[in-house]
A and B are shown apart, each in its own frame.
Chain A
Amino acid sequence: MARGPAHTSVLTIVALAAAATVGAADFSDKHGFTVSAGGEYQYISQEFYRNVVDTMSTDIIETWRLDTDQIDEFILKAMAGYNNRSRSSHFSLSADAETSTERFLGRAESFYRLGDYDDNIGFSAKVESKAPYDKGNEQLEGYNFYEVSTKARRRLSRIVALEGKIGYERVSFTDAAVEDSVIQRRAAFPTYDYSVLSGQVGGEFFLTELGHELSWFAAYRNRHVPDSMVANYDQYQVGLEYRHSRVSTMLDLAGEVEVKDYARPVGMDDFFAITIRGHGAKEIGDKWETALVLGADIYRFDQPDLVNRDYWLLTGELEGSYRISGVEGGPLVRIEFRDEELLPVDTVEYYSEAFNQFEGGLQAGSTSLGELFFDVELTYGRRNYRGGMSLLTSYDFVAVSLMGNYTITRNFSLNMMLEGETERHERKEDDANLYLFSGGVTARF
């Protein structure tokens, strides 16, 4: 028999009632108590073909059937928070709960910062817990998530600032039926608990009068998985970013180097990666704006194998926007090229997922900051796997995305998000669809 978090609905109803009786604030409040309540409908659907092999015959007879991994939930939400901000400190505390026929999720967060924006030390903590749920034919995992971090920032001079951060997070999964740290979810595929310890230092150089800003960071991250030593890793990252902005132009260039070292024999899965991103935008006259985004990812594995191939990926996006009556919109073009090195081991392993991808479409969004804010994009594209040695098939896709907010009154707002992507492959059984919809109303007091 299915077990659900029905008992927890009572808590939320109590919270909603409490929310409705507490007084006055609105979206713009910076200090004091805030309570909010709302409802959200969430629909997520991933459709794909599931493979079935007939074992009764001596020949291999395969059939495919369209299957759907779906979430269809109406979620009630309630939140209570306290916020106190002054020039020299900031304290916030919030607790919120979400419930539906298939979930109960509770979350609490606190944050304290001592000092102003330039010179400060801050502490934050977050706890999130989602109850497991037994749908009868499928068990939805629950989890407990804990995160603590401390961060300090010091402005050394008008042009130099330094900051550092240390954080720890832990996730432990829970199952409706099994009380163990290793969850035997859907038979042979375990989901592991893990914890992550991270540290980061960074700095910024401001040449604001000339419109230039330079920042850097170095980060370390260690993941520890109690039940699977080979899933442990150390990760090292360093990055550099340059920003330049003027009234009608903007340029942002960023580069990052990453090294990941797994606790696995002979360097298996370990890699060295370089990531480069560039983003420029320029206003042309009063009405037009163009934006160009370019990127490059280069991955080199210590031990290239079936799973990990050395590869590079180039991406580009060009967008033009015309402003008229509070709306701006125009065409956009995206390209992606991926190339990967083949393994000189044996013929079987000569599979390559190198591809070219082209995408074009239209985008639009509101330019005003009134009650309505929206952003919409509709694109068509094609991904071609190159060289005829791919296990995946080339496909056409259509993607749509829409996100919007509407402020009804000072205390009430509506929000909506829609994402849809449909893939049509050269082999029908590789077709896939993804639909996401989320829409809700929130009241804040």
Chain B
Amino acid sequence: MMGMKIKLTLPTLVLSIWAATVYAQYGPLERLKAAIDKTDEIIQQAREVVAESGSERARNQLAMAVRLQGMARDIIVNMLHDLNDTRVTQIGKYTMSARLKAQRAIAIVRQEEENEDYVRRRLEKTDQLIRQVSDEFRESSPPALRLLLDTAEEQQQRAAELFRNRRLKAALQVTIQTEKSLAQALERRDGLMRAQNRFETQMDRYLALRERIETGGDGGSATIADALRNAEKLRTQADDLAAEDKYGRAEKVMTEAVEMLSRVAEQVREPAKIKAALDDLRTEADRIREQVEIHTRRDIQEQFRTMLGHLDKAGQFHDRGDYDAAAAQLQAARQLLSRIKRALGE
């Protein structure tokens, strides 16, 4: 336990000056009545806001205000017929101290961390964020992120419970922490998506290069066959990493595989079979067109349209004799087609 005497602060000084000014202007009883009524009014205002907040610090200040005001009234009631200057001064001191305490109670509650409205709004904001991300996370996110969401939901329940038990400052800290956790989770998710994009870009490059090498007709040479096997091993390794959502590492391995194939591709003649591959893919696209059009997922239909765009561009590049670009477009189309077929259950 620690104890200390109150120090003279600016607010108490202001009150003393104010009290002296009022005292000089009116008669003692009028002055007292006005001062006590004003304090009553402020205590009543404090009562309402402190009840909503539940702040222990504010409750304590208000309780002291009520007590001091009670002491002022006791003197008036008990000594109404014997109010000398000393007692009037004493009453004034009690009621002004009571007023200061009630005002301090209000000032405490007006701080954001003790304000019921503010804390409620922060809780609602976090609730909204939880709802916003929960469907998405539960549908398609790594277990670590789903676990984070579960933890965030539990923390938010704890914050709501603290709020209902009027521990506003604690509730605010917990809900802010929960919101931060979720924001971090969203950032991680975005980072994951960026790494996934980079991985998929490398995968597209890899497949385009492989297509170019295979359609170039030199796949039978021992050196190239070895290189293709080694690159394929790296690709499998990268695929496994991606399946575990380790896209950062998957991207590095894929980059290595792409570099390996790039070196091989330089040794391979320009492709002669791109046109045949293009025709095959067009036939395959025509075969599944109807299934795609009646499918409920709009993203599948969008992917299908994108795939057709790649095929058109592949045809244009082929006609212009730009076989590298044609092979890249062809492989992008092939990859999308394979995703679409998986989504269709083929």
Tell me the smallest distance from the CB of A278 to a CB of chain B, in Å. Answer: 15
A212 to B14, CA, bound (A): 55
**Is A137 located at the chain interface by the 8 A CB criterion?**
no
Contact of A392 among B14, B15, B107 (CB under 8 A): B107
Query: Is the pair A429, B147 in contact by a Cβ cutoff of 8 Å?
Result: no
A173 to B51, CA, bound (A): 14
Closest-by-CB residue of A relative to B57 is: A48
Query: Is the pair B144, A373 in contact by a Cβ cutoff of 8 Å?
Result: yes
Query: Is the pair B245, A428 in contact by a Cβ cutoff of 8 Å?
Result: no
Check A53/B161 contact, CB under 8 A, given A403-B177, A419-B173.
no
Contacts of B108 in A (CB 8 A): 392
Closest-by-CB residue of A relative to B99 is: A348
Within 8 A of A (CB), among B3-44: 3-7, 9-11, 14-15, 17-18, 21, 38, 42
Check A189/B192 contact, CB under 8 A, given A53-B67, A370-B144, A392-B107.
no
Check A369/B166 contact, CB under 8 A, given A62-B5, A66-B2, A307-B106.
no
Contact of A50 among B60, B142, B164, B167 (CB under 8 A): B60
Query: Is the pair B173, A429 in contact by a Cβ cutoff of 8 Å?
Result: no
Query: Is the pair A405, B148 in contact by a Cβ cutoff of 8 Å?
Result: yes
Tell me the smallest distance from the CB of B199 to a CB of chain A, in Å. Answer: 13
Cross-chain pair count, CB within 8 angstroms:
202
Tell me the smallest distance from the CB of B98 to a CB of chain A, in Å. Answer: 9
One digit per residue, 1 when the CB lies within 8 angstroms of any chain A CB and 0 when it does not, for chain B 186-218 equals: 011011101001000000000000000000000
Query: Is the pair B49, A46 in contact by a Cβ cutoff of 8 Å?
Result: no
Contact of A432 among B7, B57, B184 (CB under 8 A): B57
Contacts of B164 in A (CB 8 A): 130, 143, 145, 171, 173
A44 to B177, CA, bound (A): 14
Contacts of A67 in B (CB 8 A): 56
Counting chain A CB atoms within 10 Å of each CB, which of B52, B143, B155 scores highest? B143
Tell me the smallest distance from the CB of A164 to a CB of chain B, in Å. Answer: 14
**How many chain A residues touch the partner (CB < 8 A)?**
96
**Is A60 located at the chain interface by the 8 A CB criterion?**
yes
Query: Is the pair A351, B107 in contact by a Cβ cutoff of 8 Å?
Result: yes
Query: Is the pair B248, A368 in contact by a Cβ cutoff of 8 Å?
Result: yes
A305 to B42, CA, bound (A): 10
Dominant secondary structure of chain B at its interface with chain A = helix
Contact of A348 among B1, B18, B117, B148 (CB under 8 A): B18
Contacts of A410 in B (CB 8 A): 143
Contact of A63 among B3, B7, B97 (CB under 8 A): B3
Query: Is the pair A391, B184 in contact by a Cβ cutoff of 8 Å?
Result: no
Tell me the smallest distance from the CB of A286 to a CB of chain B, in Å. Answer: 11
Counting chain A CB atoms within 10 Å of each CB, which of B21, B110, B117, B192 scores highest? B110
A211 to B108, CA, bound (A): 44
**Is B313 located at the chain interface by the 8 A CB criterion?**
no
Contacts of A392 in B (CB 8 A): 104, 107-108, 111
Query: Is the pair A48, B56 in contact by a Cβ cutoff of 8 Å?
Result: yes
Tell me the smallest distance from the CB of A171 to a CB of chain B, in Å. Answer: 6
Check A66/B97 contact, CB under 8 A, given A30-B138, A42-B158, A421-B173.
no
**Is B165 located at the chain interface by the 8 A CB criterion?**
yes
Contact of A353 among B111, B117, B184 (CB under 8 A): B111
Closest-by-CB residue of A relative to B86 is: A58
Tell me the smallest distance from the CB of B298 to a CB of chain A, in Å. Answer: 7
**Is A21 located at the chain interface by the 8 A CB criterion?**
no
Contact of B151 among A48, A247, A365, A405 (CB under 8 A): A405
Closest-by-CB residue of B relative to A418 is: B177
**Is B339 located at the chain interface by the 8 A CB criterion?**
no
A346 to B103, CA, bound (A): 14
Closest-by-CB residue of A relative to B144 is: A369
Closest-by-CB residue of A relative to B21 is: A347
**Is A180 located at the chain interface by the 8 A CB criterion?**
no
Contacts of A65 in B (CB 8 A): 1-3
**Is A266 located at the chain interface by the 8 A CB criterion?**
no
**Is B66 located at the chain interface by the 8 A CB criterion?**
yes
Contacts of B135 in A (CB 8 A): 117
Closest-by-CB residue of B relative to A389 is: B10
Contacts of A438 in B (CB 8 A): 155, 158
Contacts of A130 in B (CB 8 A): 161, 164
Check A247/B188 contact, CB under 8 A, given A44-B170, A51-B64.
no
**Is B223 located at the chain interface by the 8 A CB criterion?**
no
Contacts of A190 in B (CB 8 A): 51
Tell me the smallest distance from the CB of B186 to a CB of chain A, in Å. Answer: 10
**Is A186 located at the chain interface by the 8 A CB criterion?**
yes
Closest-by-CB residue of B relative to A189 is: B51
A110 to B100, CA, bound (A): 50
**Is A8 located at the chain interface by the 8 A CB criterion?**
no
**Is B174 located at the chain interface by the 8 A CB criterion?**
yes
Contacts of A421 in B (CB 8 A): 173
Closest-by-CB residue of A relative to B140 is: A30
**Is A388 located at the chain interface by the 8 A CB criterion?**
yes
Check A250/B68 contact, CB under 8 A, given A28-B146, A403-B181, A405-B148.
no
**Is B59 located at the chain interface by the 8 A CB criterion?**
yes
**Is B71 located at the chain interface by the 8 A CB criterion?**
yes
Contact of B64 among A53, A189, A307, A367 (CB under 8 A): A53
A44 to B197, CA, bound (A): 43
**Is B235 located at the chain interface by the 8 A CB criterion?**
no
Query: Is the pair B4, A63 in contact by a Cβ cutoff of 8 Å?
Result: yes
**Is A20 located at the chain interface by the 8 A CB criterion?**
no
Tell me the smallest distance from the CB of A256 to a CB of chain B, in Å. Answer: 10
Check A245/B144 contact, CB under 8 A, given A347-B18, A392-B111, A403-B181.
no
Query: Is the pair B45, A305 in contact by a Cβ cutoff of 8 Å?
Result: yes
Counting chain B CB atoms within 10 Å of each CB, which of A52, A61, A353, A368 scores highest? A368
Contacts of A116 in B (CB 8 A): 296
A417 to B138, CA, bound (A): 22
Query: Is the pair A60, B94 in contact by a Cβ cutoff of 8 Å?
Result: yes
Contact of B4 among A28, A64, A350 (CB under 8 A): A64
**Is B282 located at the chain interface by the 8 A CB criterion?**
no
Query: Is the pair A390, B191 in contact by a Cβ cutoff of 8 Å?
Result: no
A434 to B173, CA, bound (A): 9
Closest-by-CB residue of A relative to B18 is: A347
Contact of A51 among B60, B150, B177 (CB under 8 A): B60
Closest-by-CB residue of A relative to B75 is: A58
A48 to B48, CA, bound (A): 22
**Is A436 located at the chain interface by the 8 A CB criterion?**
yes
Query: Is the pair A391, B107 in contact by a Cβ cutoff of 8 Å?
Result: yes
Query: Is the pair B107, A60 in contact by a Cβ cutoff of 8 Å?
Result: no
Check A27/B165 contact, CB under 8 A, given A51-B64, A432-B57.
no
Contact of B143 among A66, A117, A368, A407 (CB under 8 A): A407
Counting chain B CB atoms within 10 Å of each CB, which of A49, A51, A107 scores highest? A51
Q: List 8 A-B contacts (CB under 8 A).
A: A28-B143, A141-B165, A143-B164, A188-B63, A389-B11, A391-B100, A434-B169, A434-B170
**Additional A-B contacts beyond A67-B56, A392-B108 (10; CB < 8 A):** A55-B67, A145-B164, A230-B48, A260-B117, A306-B45, A353-B107, A365-B184, A369-B246, A389-B10, A417-B155
| Interface pairs A-B: 6 shortest CB-CB | A391-B107, A62-B6, A369-B144, A27-B143, A28-B143, A63-B3
